[in-house]
Amino acid sequence: MSAACYAKARAGKIPNFTGIDSPYEPPTQPDLHLRADHEEVSVLAEQVLAWLEARD
């Protein structure tokens, strides 16, 4: 999201904007769960690619 979108949401021009006036609701059963606080970006990228390849 761009800073402009957040500014518009804070000004009330974009209703139900997640993180501004609508709470973030994490998925109950995500297809992929990445732990960015525990892994390097390169490892996360490999996990995403492996997940995408497995979907084919």
The per-residue pLDDT for range 2-38, each reduced to its tens digit, is 899 999 999 999 999 988 888 889 999 999 999 999 9
The number of folded domains in the chain is 1
Which of 32, 28, 55 is closest to 45 using CA atoms? 32
Tokens linked to 47: 């996990």
pTM check: above 0.85: no
Q: What range does the domain containing 10 cover? A: 3-55
Q: Is the pLDDT of residue 1 over 80?
A: no
